[in-house]
Structure 1
Amino acid sequence: MNKSRVLVVDDEELNLEILCEYFDSENNFSLRTAADGEAAWQILLDPAESFDVILLDRMMPGLDGIGLLRRIKETPRLADIPVILQTAADTASEIREGLEAGAYYYLTKPYRRDALFAIVHAALTDAKAHDSLRRRLNDHINSLQFLTQGDFSIRTIEEAGQLASFIAQACPDADRAVLGISELLINAVEHGNLGLSYQEKSTLKLEDCWQAEIDRRLALPDNVAKRVKINFIRSTNDITLRITDQGSGFAWQDFLEFSPERACDPNGRGIALARMMSFASISYEGCGNIAVATIPSDSPKN
C-alpha cells in the first residue's frame, strides 16, 4: 500500500517534534517537514515532490500560513492538495479568513492526536473522492452539452458519484460542477433519505466507520425503496438542478456559509464549498428536502 505523503509546516521546533512523533506511530504516512513558509514553498515548487495533504501553521515569520495557502491555491499543480490550517486563532474572523483562502480543514491548537488524524483522514478521503469524480468525467462524451432536460434518480453514495460525473459533462465547466453536484447528491442520500444527522456523521468520521453505517442504513427495510430525484433543465441563461430527497429536511440556512464553530469538524463544509466553487446560487424549498442549484449555461463560473 502506498503511503500518504504529508508536508508539515511549522516554525516551532517543539511542534514539529510532537507531530513527527504522532505520524511515526502511523504506518500509512510518509512525512516531510519545513520550518517556515518559504522553505515549504521551495519544497512544493520542486516537480519531483508531491504531497497528498499539507498541515500548515498559520502564524509564522516571513511568509505566514495564509500567504503560503494563497500561493498553493493559485498554483494549478498544487491547488487540489487539501490544506489543514493549524492555529491558535480563536476568533471567527480569523478562522473565516483561513476557510475562504482555501483551508477547508482546520485544527485549533492545542488539539488531541485523535482530532488530528480524524481531520487528516477526512481531508484525504475527500481528496480521493474528488479525484475519482474528475477522472470519471473522461468517461462521458462531450455531446452532453446538448442536453436540455432530464430526470434521474439514485439510491446510493456510489450512484451519486456516477451521476454527478455524468451531469457535470452537460455543464460549461465540468471540473468545477462535478464537485458541487456530488456534494448535493451525497447530502440528499445520507442526511435526507438515510436520516444521518450532522453529529452522527461527525462521530462516525472520527471512528472511521461512516461507510459501514451508510451501508447498514441502505439495507434497512424502511430505506430500500427511497430514491433521490434529480431534475436537470437548461434555459438560455442558466442550468438548474432540482434535487429532491425523501427526508424530513434540515436547517439548511446554517450551512450555506463556512461556519467557524464547525471549522474543526471532519464534515459540514460540503454545501458551502459547493456554493462557492460550483454554483451561482443554492436555495432550498419545502422542509429543506429540495435543493435548487443554478449554473450559468453560457460560460464557466469564475
Structure 2
Amino acid sequence: MTRVAARPARILVVEDDPAGRELLEHVLGEDGYTVESEGDGAEAWRRLETEPTRFAVVLLDWELPHLDGLALLERIKAASALEAIPVIFQTARTDRDSVLAAVAAGAAYFVPKPIDRELLRTVVAAATADHGRSLALQETVQRGEAAASTLVAGDFRVRTIAEATALATLLSRACPDPERTLVGFSELLINGVEHGNLGITYQEKSALLAAQGWAEEVERRLASPDHRDKRVVVHFERDDERIVVTITDCGPGFDWQRFLTISPDRIFHAHGRGIAMANLMSFDRLEYVAPGNRVIATVDLA
C-alpha cells in the first residue's frame, strides 16, 4: 500500500550497497519523501556538515566505507546543528552490546536487514513526525521565558497532547539545560495522557502507527465520556540542590522496568523507546512508583 507522507520530508539514505540503496529510494519515494543518498559514511558526513538543515531524517547502514554508521551517528549527535535529526539504523545486529552502543550514541530507531517495507514506512513516518515535534519544541524553548527559571514550586494539570507539550516546554525552561530535559518531559507527559489516561496499550499504539491512525484515536478517546474528565497531575519543586518533577496519571500503571532500557527484542518497533531515552539522556534520576502511574524525574543543580 502506498501512503503519502503527511509532511513530505527530505531523507538522507546512507547505504554502500547499490541495490539496497535503490530499494530504499524506491520505497520511500513511493510515500512522497524526497530521498537523497550517499554510499560512503565520510561523504555523508561532509554533506551533513555543509547542509545541516537539509534533512529531516537520516537512514544509515551500520557497515559503511571510510566512516562506519556508529561513528557517523556519534558525529551527528555531537554537532549542535545536527543533533535533533532522528537517525534510523538499518542493521542485522540485534545483540545487546550492539544495541546499547547504538543507543548510547543517540540512535532512536532501528529497521532490520533485509528490509521489511511496511515496518520501514512506519518507522520513517514516526521519525519524521518526531523531528517536526522536536523542532517546534526547540523553537518555543529558544524563544524562552526567563521567568521560568525563577519557578520554585507549582502544580499543573494537563488533559491533551497539546497541553502536555506546552507544559513540557515550560518545565524544561525552568531547568539549567532546557534542551536536555525537553524531550524527556515531553515523553513522560505524553505517555501519561495516551497510555495512562486514555488507556492506549503498547500493542494498540503499534497498530495505530502502522495504520497512521494514532492522532485520530487519541482525539476520539479524549472526547469519550470515559476519558474526557481525566487529567495528568504534575508537581514541580525546586531547592538549592535539585529540581524534582512528579507526574501522576489516572491509569492502572504498567511494568515500567521493561522500558527503562532499550531491549533488543523491541528495537525494530516504531515506538517504545521514549522512557529509556528520557532515563538515559534527560534526567539525573528517573524513578517510577508502583504500580507505575507515577514517575519522579530529578535534575541535579549542585
TM bucket by the smaller chain?
over 0.9
Aligned to 1:102: 106
Q: CA deviation at 1:60?
A: 2.0
Aligned to 1:23: 28
Determine which of 201, 210, 214 is the counterpart of 2:214.
210
Partner Cα separation in structure 1 for residue 46 and residue 144 of structure 2: 38
Contact 2:53 2:81 (C-alpha < 8 Å) held by counterparts:
no
Q: Are the structure 2 counterparts of residues 89 and 228 from structure 1 closer, same or farther at C-alpha, using a change threshold of 3 Å?
A: same
Q: CA deviation at 1:143?
A: 1.7
1:3 aligned counterpart, secondary structure: coil
Aligned to 2:13: 8
Aligned to 1:179: 183
Aligned to 2:228: 224
Partner Cα separation in structure 2 for residue 180 and residue 220 of structure 1: 28
Match status 1:90 vs 2:94: yes
What aligned pairs does 1:105-116 form with structure 2 within 5 A after superposition? Answer: 105-116=109-120
Partner Cα separation in structure 2 for residue 158 and residue 113 of structure 1: 31
Q: CA deviation at 1:47?
A: 3.4
| Mean CA deviation greater in 93-102 or 66-75 | 93-102
Partner Cα separation in structure 1 for residue 264 and residue 102 of structure 2: 10
Aligned to 1:295: 299
Aligned to 1:124: 128
Determine which of 154, 159, 163 is the counterpart of 2:158.
154
Contact 1:43 1:49 (C-alpha < 8 Å) held by counterparts:
no
Aligned to 1:257: 261
Match status 1:279 vs 2:283: yes
Q: CA deviation at 1:3?
A: 3.5
Q: CA deviation at 1:248?
A: 0.2
| Mean CA deviation greater in 98-107 or 248-257 | 98-107
Aligned to 1:142: 146
Query: In angstroms, what is the RMSD of aligned CA positions?
Result: 1.5
Partner Cα separation in structure 1 for residue 102 and residue 144 of structure 2: 35
1:272 aligned counterpart, secondary structure: helix
Aligned to 2:55: 51
Q: Are the structure 2 counterparts of residues 70 and 138 from structure 1 closer, same or farther at C-alpha, using a change threshold of 3 Å?
A: closer
Partner Cα separation in structure 2 for residue 134 and residue 15 of structure 1: 34
Partner Cα separation in structure 1 for residue 110 and residue 235 of structure 2: 35
Q: CA deviation at 1:140?
A: 4.6
Aligned to 1:62: 66
Contact 2:245 2:296 (C-alpha < 8 Å) held by counterparts:
yes
Q: Are the structure 2 counterparts of residues 122 and 230 from structure 1 closer, same or farther at C-alpha, using a change threshold of 3 Å?
A: same
1:7 aligned counterpart, secondary structure: strand
Q: Give the TM-score, by structure 1 length.
A: 0.94
1:239 aligned counterpart, secondary structure: strand
Partner Cα separation in structure 1 for residue 127 and residue 248 of structure 2: 28
1:110 aligned counterpart, secondary structure: coil
Gaps of 5+ in 1: none
Contact 1:151 1:229 (C-alpha < 8 Å) held by counterparts:
yes
Q: Are the structure 2 counterparts of residues 50 and 139 from structure 1 closer, same or farther at C-alpha, using a change threshold of 3 Å?
A: closer
Contact 2:149 2:174 (C-alpha < 8 Å) held by counterparts:
yes
Q: Give the TM-score, by structure 2 length.
A: 0.94
Aligned to 2:3: none
Gaps of 5+ in 2: 1-5
Runs of 4+ in 1 over 4 A off after TM superposition: none
